[in-house]
A and B are shown apart, each in its own frame.
Chain A
Amino acid sequence: MHEPESKKISRPILDIQGLKKYFPVTSGVFLRQTGNVHAVDDVSFSVFKGETLGIVGESGCGKTTLGRCIMGLYPLTQGRILLDGKPMSAMSRKMRKAFSTRAQMIFQDPFESLNPRQTVRQILEEKFRIHGVSQKKTITQIESLLDQVGLDPGDLTKYPHEFSGGQRQRIGIARAISMTPQIVICDEPVSALDVSVQSKILNLLLDLQCAMGLTYLFISHDLSVVRHMSDRIIVMYLGRIMEIADARNIYNHPGHPYTKALLEAVPVADPDHPSKRIPLKGEIPSAEHPPPGCRFSSRCPVAQSLCFEKAPTLSVCRHDPGHLTACHFPLSG
């Protein structure tokens, strides 16, 4: 699974360029716009074919919004998304519809993401219906889908409420991988599940990736899950990318103080473990009025005056071209 070196040579399947998503804040009878929530603010990165790109961050940092923007569920405020080098914005409606067979999404809450009034069969058929696949082909495809995600053909006539959380998430996965997409955006696919079920679902995702050559964009707030799944990891904070690096690198040698703080906040199951964590001061600032300069400056333990004035750009850290950090004073060693 973990062969990031060889993957990096392949061309990017998905290119995100300067993506911005602001949600307007309105007030008054005529909904006059009084401000913006900077949910995703100038984010650029590439996703390579066959890799798993993890996106981590605290809640409210814009991970989910980013995933939904890529999926086309939210209109972009600014920026471009290129699929195989072709910009999505230039696509016609028809091409956008075709895009939905190439990129799919697994949702966070399996209790919410399935229509409670449809049977499993109806839920899985939906996509084939939308894209005009014949009835006969649909049936055989659905049967093989069920087999792939480990559900029983007898489950087809059941309704979502008759399943456990893990099984429901399997239905969600089956829906996402139908018609063999290339990219699957996993939006916290296991965070609503029991810990005992989480690993089963994660392994299912890994197996499917192997079998179908899928590319994953794996969004999660759980660092250990992301570490288990990802080849490369993006750390986000308040709508901005703080750091991009190989999974191993980012865990062993974080370049950004925020990444370091995040890693040290992971509890260790050892009472004698010497705690040398850098406690973060205060709360996350509001995304409506983000701090000028570096987004993290208000809570950064090593911030200097420059950090409050000028926002750092993503730049190569420690001479490793695959390791980018948005920090004026990246950590060494």
Chain B
Amino acid sequence: MAVLNPVTKAQLRRFCSVKRGFWSLVIILILMFISFFAEVFINSRALVVYYQGAFYFPTYADMIPGKTFGLDYSYETNYRELKQKMDREGGTGFVVMPPVPYDPYENDLRLNEYPPFPPSFSHRHFLGTDNVGRDVLARLVYGFRTAILFSLGLLFLNYTVGISLGCAMGYFGGKFDLFFQRIIEIWSNIPFLYVIIIVSSIVVPSFMVLILIMAFFGWISITWVMRTMTYREKEREYILAVRSLGASHLRIIFRHIIPNTISVIVTYAPFAISGGIVALTSLDYLGFGLPAPTPSWGELLSQGWQNMEAWWISAAVVSALVVTLMTVTFIGEGIREAFDPRRHTVYE
């Protein structure tokens, strides 16, 4: 559809007029952009290396052994040391490092000092390091990427199951609806946390496994909502009208019911995303989330808790959590406002 429906247009306009929601969306989009291209901003690999008349761009390339640059080892080049060496020697060669020259897995250890190191501009650890010397900012950003991808993936799975099943329940009703209602009631009584603990004690959950387990329990609420909405829509006269035109069930569901329930689907999404972030963070905090070296906010949070004197760890992760959850919630609020059918007139 090239031209946007005027209803949608009006909703978009109303969303943009809710300033808090609009700017939150801008902030979240910037954060997502930074985290998806985090290799450019936060990485131990150089952006550009100029060595003996040739340019190298190691960021997204294969590993370049140290011998390439005249170093005496064949494992991956340590670009920070290469930069220091080149700066010392002068000459035509140069190395451009990202603003934060550390990757999230790397332990930056020094002689006679023990991590965690406090924030320092000279070492380019803007938010300090954790207790094994990994850069906190790097872990925050990469952790954000994991969390957002996790939430989006979870949202997608939950919506696929929830919308199709909820629509079917509401549309076909009868015994089918009754059967799944009871199934859901039983299902929602399975203690979700225990299942995760049991599963993660048997296998170390990978990203996909964790999403699947979460989706296993997460589809219920959107299913209920869609079921109710479909029930309401299908009895309206315009649905009867298309039915009497001879439309098939699929046509009615996809062309008429879902477009008219889209406001619920969209309004629900930001809250589901913030729910996903919180769920992943708390699982990681408890140690039942993603396996150990994966950068994650929950793991940072538990480190911050164990090292209260290294205040920068907990301060960073708590503020990141607050900012993210608040912006996502503001976006949700803005969307809800934009989709609210009851518009209030305010006399000033």
Instruction: Report the stretch among A3-11, A99-107, A141-149 that lies at the interface.
Output: A99-107
Known A31-B178, A116-B260; judge A126-B247 contact (CB<8 A): yes
Known A126-B245, A131-B246; judge A112-B238 contact (CB<8 A): yes
Contact A73 B244 (CB under 8 A): yes
Min CB gap A293→B, angstroms: 34
Nearest neighbor of B177 in chain A, beta-carbon distance: A31
A162 to B242, CA, bound (A): 21
Nearest neighbor of B256 in chain A, beta-carbon distance: A115
Nearest neighbor of B245 in chain A, beta-carbon distance: A127
Contact A113 B237 (CB under 8 A): yes
A130 to B5, CA, bound (A): 22
Contact A112 B236 (CB under 8 A): yes
Checking A73, A101, A108, A113 against B238 with a beta-carbon cut-off of 8 angstroms, the contacting residue is A113
A residues near B237, Cβ cutoff 8 Å: 107-109, 112-113
Nearest neighbor of B248 in chain A, beta-carbon distance: A130
Contact of B243 with A by CB under 8 A: yes
Contact B244 A100 (CB under 8 A): yes
Checking A105, A108, A117 against B244 with a beta-carbon cut-off of 8 angstroms, the contacting residue is A105
Contact B7 A117 (CB under 8 A): yes
Checking B7, B238, B246, B259 against A100 with a beta-carbon cut-off of 8 angstroms, the contacting residue is B246
A residues near B26, Cβ cutoff 8 Å: none
Interface size for chain B: under 10, 10 to 19, 20 to 34, or 35 or more residues? 20 to 34
Contact A113 B246 (CB under 8 A): no
Min CB gap B243→A, angstroms: 6
The CB with the most chain A CB atoms within 10 A, among B5, B241, B242, B247, is that of B241
Known A115-B256, A115-B260, A117-B7; judge A71-B244 contact (CB<8 A): yes
A58 to B245, CA, bound (A): 28
B residues near A159, Cβ cutoff 8 Å: 5-7
How many contacts A-B (CB < 8 Å)? 63
Contact of A228 with B by CB under 8 A: no
B residues near A97, Cβ cutoff 8 Å: 246
Contact of B251 with A by CB under 8 A: yes
Nearest neighbor of B241 in chain A, beta-carbon distance: A113
A residues near B243, Cβ cutoff 8 Å: 73
Checking A100, A108, A109, A112 against B245 with a beta-carbon cut-off of 8 angstroms, the contacting residue is A100
Nearest neighbor of A185 in chain B, beta-carbon distance: B244
Known A100-B244, A104-B244, A127-B245; judge A115-B238 contact (CB<8 A): yes
Min CB gap A122→B, angstroms: 9
A68 to B241, CA, bound (A): 10
Contact A105 B246 (CB under 8 A): no
A301 to B90, CA, bound (A): 116
A116 to B247, CA, bound (A): 17
B residues near A99, Cβ cutoff 8 Å: 246
Q: Which residues of chain A from 82 to 102 have any CB-CB distance to chain B below 8 Å in the complex?
A: 96-97, 99-101
Can you pick out 13 interface pairs between chain A and chain B where the beta carbons lie within 8 Å of each other? A71-B244, A72-B244, A73-B240, A97-B246, A99-B246, A101-B246, A105-B241, A107-B240, A108-B237, A113-B240, A116-B7, A117-B259, A131-B246
Interface residues, chain A, with chain B CB atoms under 8 Å away: 30-31, 68, 71-73, 96-97, 99-101, 104-105, 107-109, 112-117, 126-127, 130-131, 159, 172, 175
Q: Knowing that A73-B244, A100-B244, A112-B237 are A-B contacts, what are 11 other residue pairs whose CB atoms are under 8 Å apart, sorted by A's residue number?
A: A68-B240, A72-B244, A73-B240, A99-B246, A107-B241, A112-B236, A115-B260, A116-B260, A126-B247, A130-B248, A159-B7
